[in-house]
Amino acid sequence: MEIIKTVDLMQQASDTIRMSGESIALVPTMGFLHEGHLMLMRAAKDHCDQLVVSLFVNPTQFGPNEDFEAYPRDTQGDLKKAEDVGADVMFMPSAKEMYPPGAQTSVVVKDLPQHLCGLSRPGHFDGVTTVVAKLFHIVKPHAAVFGQKDYQQLAVISRMVMDLDMDIQIIGVPTVREADGLAMSSRNSYLKPEERISALSLKKSLDLAQRLFREGEKKAQVVKDFVKSYILEHPYTEIDYITLCDPVTLEDVNTLSDGTLMAMAVRVGKTRLIDNGRLVK
């Protein structure tokens, strides 16, 4: 696996791959790789000839009181995991390389970030779309792969690609879970053992909502109230949001239907966790 740290060298490497007639898939990551990331890489390899993984903890998507400094890092472990899965290139730029002094441009999707996580993380998605647009211009992929666990991120990036006519196929990969149902996340490493037990309430509450819907409940408010009190029965939990919304616009719905998205962010101790699922008849 080749390790590339500068924008120029990455662009040259991508040009060479493209000129040889091979296709490129990109898996953007912030490192501290887990099985969820490795599934994205495997999916990427199924779609393209060459797999580029990027590792960059992007400062512009963290708010002033968020965990940028504390974000878990394990560069050596990440390099080994990516290589073992068969990545061809690891692009790992410095913050200076990605954001040289004087930069003035950002990419902003207007409406989709005004829901779900965007409400409590103002500016977060502007940071995400800007860095992902930059990665797209640097790596020049034919396809890019993202996890459905970050449903809103996938929706925002898909919208950006559509709106800006980026010639890149966006592939969403289903959430990978631990055996007990906890959605895999680099931030799970923050959880103390007793908090981890409470964290299982997220997935269990998605299952609960699904059951209520199958049993005929159509009122979003009823399901939301039920799920809220279920989660709050678990110690250390504090709800940021629980929403039942349209899976495309992310607008709240009053009446549930097949495919309605239920998404949530819950603090367990100091760790903010997200999860989501689509209601199915």
From candidates 38, 48, 51, 58, binder to ligand PAF by CB under 6 A: 58
From candidates 48, 131, 138, 170, binder to ligand PAF by CB under 6 A: 131
Residue 78 vs 244, nearer CB to ligand PAF: 78
Q: How big is the chain, counted in residues?
A: 281
Cα–Cα distance, 51 to 82 (Å, whole number)? 10
Residue 158 vs 210, nearer CB to ligand PAF: 158
Cα–Cα distance, 55 to 92 (Å, whole number)? 5
Write down the least CB distance from residue 164 to ligand PAF, Å.
16
Cα torsion 151, 152, 155, 157: sign:
negative
Residue 88 vs 126, nearer CB to ligand PAF: 126
Write down the least CB distance from residue 28 to ligand PAF, Å.
4
From candidates 14, 29, 130, 260, binder to ligand PAF by CB under 6 A: 29
37 is catalytic: yes
Q: Does 150 bind ligand PAF (CB under 6 A)?
A: yes
Among candidate residues 34, 37, 142, 234, the one labeled active-site is 37
Q: Identify the CA nearest to 4 among candidates 23, 17, 22.
A: 17
Token digits of residue 216: 């005929």
Cα–Cα distance, 107 to 5 (Å, whole number)? 23
Cα torsion 152, 155, 156, 157: sign:
positive
Residue 56 vs 213, nearer CB to ligand PAF: 56
Residue 128 vs 209, nearer CB to ligand PAF: 128
Q: Does 129 bind ligand PAF (CB under 6 A)?
A: no
Inter-residue contact 202 to 240 (CB < 8 Å): no
Write down the least CB distance from residue 238 to ligand PAF, Å.
23
What residue has token string 């053992």? Answer: 193
From candidates 79, 132, 244, 256, binder to ligand PAF by CB under 6 A: 132
Write down the least CB distance from residue 231 to ligand PAF, Å.
24
Write down the least CB distance from residue 229 to ligand PAF, Å.
31
Q: Find the binding residues for ligand PAF in span 9-28 (CB under 6 A).
A: 28
Q: Does 274 bind ligand PAF (CB under 6 A)?
A: no
Residue 132 vs 199, nearer CB to ligand PAF: 132
Residues annotated catalytic, as ranges: 37
State the residues that interact with ligand PAF by CB under 6 A. Answer: 28-30, 58, 61, 128, 131-132, 150, 153
